[in-house]
Amino acid sequence: MLDVVVVGGGPVGLYLGCLLARSGLSFTVLERRQRPGTHSRAIGIHPPALQGFQELGCAEAFLAAGIQIRRGVVRSGTEVLGELSFASASRAFPFVLSLPQQQTETLLAEHLERIAPGTLQRCTEVTGLQQRSTHVDLTVQNGDRSCSLQAKFVVGADGCRSLVRSLTGLEYPGGTYADTYLMGDFPDTSAYGQTAVVHLVNSGVVEAFPLPGGLRRWVVHTDVLNLSARPRDLVDLVEDRTGLHLPAGDCSMLSAFEVHHHAVSRMCAGRTVLIGDAAHEVSPIGGQGMNLGWLDAQALMPALMVAVRDPDQGALAMMKMERRRLRSARIASRQAELNMSAGRPTSPAAQFGRELLLRGLLSRPVQPLLAQAFTMRWL
């Protein structure tokens, strides 16, 4: 009987594994994939997460691998509407770290292996779950072998299509926004350096973020979801809207995506808890989903420690944790919606109003507040 089984070794499950490794509880992290996913997703790591990595003793590895984005600039045509400095976001980490999710998962998995060897079990898929009054029974598939595991608590960190969530009967209401995007990574031929740049254009936003390895990620709002897009399509959109030319032949990643939002109304059911995308999916425009999951894991740890010792007291601690984390997810979701709406196609007249509003938001007195919202200070 283990104290805790974590289902899912994505960024959130791996981070929770690292926290569990320091807690003295017995645990394992079960991950069905053999290695981190190659599909490109998150790049932004915010100061509260970096603080957490520092406490774990792995911040140095992240800082060595990533790019520190210390400011963002909002442009309209050739004009700069304003700047957002992250200097006030955190004393220790006054920046957002840019690192592709695949590398983030690799670094977390390496750290977990260092501090708790063998606790991450890859190629291991959870296929069944039964809640009992004293524990949870899990059915696990590893290649041709099927076996069972028992744990006092199970944490579902198994992403937005969570099996743990469906087996515990928790609903996941939400929907899909009308917004669609095309993103791609190219060698950075811009003069933007380590700055993130948002081009507000009335035909749809163009965002550009520096990546490690001399690359830059471009994300553009599109009229439709173009799943058969080629690099040339993205290059043309960027050129039409900003006048900037990208080297189409050197595109190293291209992905068209639509944007979903979902959230459970309860994260806990009996001896099962959901965290990360299994509990809430927020729009990636704003770049907070993965970080939100890490903050769930931080908040869950003390409640889990109590619950393993004393389930009755633990239920109260879990309830408080759940209320706090679902509130954070709602705030992050609203913020992401505001970000999306600022980048939607619009008429020239409405664009003028939008620019005026943004100039106000990026003005000196308001800027630190905006920087703190963007870097998840109160989530």
Ligand X SMILES: Cc1cc2nc3c(=O)[nH]c(=O)nc-3n(C[C@H](O)[C@H](O)[C@H](O)COP(=O)(O)OP(=O)(O)OC[C@H]3O[C@@H](n4cnc5c(N)ncnc54)[C@H](O)[C@@H]3O)c2cc1C
Contact footprint for ligand X (CB under 6 A): 7-13, 30-33, 41-44, 101, 125-126, 157-159, 163, 257, 276-278, 284, 287-291, 293
Three-class DSSP category at 108: helix
Copy the structure tokens of residue 199: 């081009």
The distance of closest approach from Cβ of residue 374 to ligand X in the complex, given in angstroms and rounded to an integer, is 11
Phi, psi of 2 (to 5 degrees): -85, 155
Ranges of beta strands (E only) in 99-135 are 120-121, 125-131
CB-based contact 65:211 (threshold 8 Å): no
Nearer CB in complex with ligand X: 279/317: 279
The distance of closest approach from Cβ of residue 25 to ligand X in the complex, given in angstroms and rounded to an integer, is 20
Residue nearest to ligand X (CB): 10
Nearer CB in complex with ligand X: 89/157: 157
Nearer CB in complex with ligand X: 43/307: 43
CB-based contact 182:198 (threshold 8 Å): no
Instruction: For the chain, report the end-to-end CA distance as a whole number of angstroms.
Output: 34
The distance of closest approach from Cβ of residue 37 to ligand X in the complex, given in angstroms and rounded to an integer, is 6
- Whose tokens are 């976001």? That residue is 89
The distance of closest approach from Cβ of residue 105 to ligand X in the complex, given in angstroms and rounded to an integer, is 8
Nearer CB in complex with ligand X: 41/216: 41
Nearer CB in complex with ligand X: 24/143: 143
* Distance, CA of 239 to CA of 254 (rounded, Å): 16
Q: What angle do CA 62, 66, 70 make, to 5 degrees?
A: 115
Nearer CB in complex with ligand X: 138/318: 138
Strand partners, 2: 151
The distance of closest approach from Cβ of residue 82 to ligand X in the complex, given in angstroms and rounded to an integer, is 21
The distance of closest approach from Cβ of residue 351 to ligand X in the complex, given in angstroms and rounded to an integer, is 25
How far are the Cα atoms of 40, 74, 232, 288 from residue 100, in angstroms, in the given order?
A: 7, 23, 23, 14
